[in-house]
Amino acid sequence: MLVQSFARHTAHAIALGAVVCITSLFASGCDRGKSSSVAAVGRPAGSAESGNAAGAIELPVRFDSAGHAWTRYTSLRWLRGRDMQWRDMQRVVIRERATEVCCEEAEHESHTVLDIDAFADTAIGKSPLWHAQSVADEGAIWNDLYRTTIRGCCGAVDYLEFYSLRRGGPLFRASAAADADSSLPSLEVPNSPLERNIAFLDRYAAVQPTEAAADANLIGVLQYGGKQGPVQRVLFTGTDSLARAARLMRVAFVVRDTASSARGQSLWSSDGKRTPAALSGFRIRVEFSVDDERHPLLRVDIPVENDLPQLDRATRPANVKLSGAK
């Protein structure tokens, strides 16, 4: 598991490389003299599987009061991405420092904090475009966004946060769909800067919606908006136990009766138009699975006109209610 952890934190480092520092949680700190680049196979130098060559790191083994060994891993890596905004492209470099404390005998055996700084590629190391700190198991460049993941355990699904490479965030929070790459569908108007995203966060994610603490009937929260973040959030609530137990299956844009969870679906009916009113004539679809052999699927379709989801015109089961939220 520790080998896998090292591999996750360093797999996509660019030419500047990744450096990992290892120390006991109860030691005084991470000695610069003991920092090491990760071996090609993803193991720290000096680990049992890499031999005991001269200069190898000897990990101090310390134990807490319960007899568990705790170790802190600090890794630094650089990731390169491109922020695309129609005719405006900016190359961005992400500096990601991950601090992981491991390991405990629990559902989530380690805890990781990511310190994230984004720079224009012409100003690396100078004033960052943005800074964020996220509790997450891993981060990655995903399309033209930066995405963090907290892995689900024991019935929970992965929790995802999406950041603009240029502006930071998080902009959208989502439960991972069966295919995590379909968790943030997008819709684009051809020959126009207009673009919209949709995400849905339900109660079965590793991190629940904040509204769940105050509303036991909450199924989840739909978010709709562009690269600045949501322009509208919609609360889905269940009026019976069946609806309240619904789990997200899919979120999609529906254009001309064709549903797609992919990035970059085109709205050709608004070709070349640049005002938000052009974002009309399509639907948002959210599908849930439920424990009912007679009706195993709940589907909600919300039409969009003038860039606003029309909740009063939504097609939905009687036991699912929709309401706008800030």
**Residue 1: what pLDDT?**
40
Do 42 and 160 lie in one domain? The reply is no
Instruction: Out of 141, 170, 190, pick the residue that ends a domain.
Output: 141
Secondary structure letter of residue 311 according to DSSP = G
Do 299 and 216 lie in one domain? The reply is yes
Handedness of CA 136, 140, 143, 144 (dihedral sign): positive
The two beta strands, 130-135 and 110-120, are: antiparallel
**Residue 285: what pLDDT?**
96
Do 263 and 120 lie in one domain? The reply is no
Q: What's the mean pLDDT in 80-95?
A: 84
Going from the C-alpha of 215 to that of each of 65, 305, 325, the distances in angstroms are 38, 29, 13
Q: What is the DSSP string of 151-182?
A: ---TTPBPEEEEEETTTEEEEEEEE--SSGGG
Do 174 and 299 lie in one domain? The reply is yes
Residue 5 has pLDDT above 80, yes or no: no
Q: Which of 204, 140, 209, 135 is nearest to 172 (CA)?
A: 209
Q: Which of 254, 221, 213 is nearest to 237 (CA)?
A: 221
Residues facing 188 on adjacent strands? 195, 266
Instruction: Out of 93, 115, 141, pick the residue that ends a domain.
Output: 141
Give the residue, 48 or 144, on which the prediction is more confident.
Answer: 144
pLDDT confidence bin for 177, thresholds 50/70/90: confident
Do 159 and 308 lie in one domain? The reply is yes
Do 106 and 163 lie in one domain? The reply is no
Do 150 and 121 lie in one domain? The reply is no
Do 256 and 195 lie in one domain? The reply is yes
Which structural domain, as residue segments, surrounds residue 25? 1-141
- 247-286 per-position pLDDT tens digit: 999 999 999 999 999 888 999 999 999 999 999 999 999 9
How many domains does the chain divide into? 2
Q: What's the mean pLDDT in 136-155?
A: 91
Residue 169 has pLDDT above 60, yes or no: yes
Q: What's the mean pLDDT in 291-320?
A: 90
Do 97 and 222 lie in one domain? The reply is no
Residue 39 has pLDDT above 50, yes or no: no
**Residue 15: what pLDDT?**
36
User: 1-5, 218-222, 277-281, 306-310: which has the minimum mean pLDDT?
Assistant: 1-5
| Beta carbons of 182 and 250 less than 8 angstroms apart | yes
Do 252 and 152 lie in one domain? The reply is yes
Residues 6+ apart with CB under 8 A from 253: 185, 186, 187, 198, 259, 260, 265, 282, 283, 284, 285
Do 31 and 124 lie in one domain? The reply is yes
Give the residue, 323 or 67, on which the prediction is more confident.
Answer: 323
Instruction: Out of 112, 141, 170, pick the residue that ends a domain.
Output: 141
Do 237 and 305 lie in one domain? The reply is yes
The amino acid at 278:
A
Cα Rg of the chain (Å, integer): 22
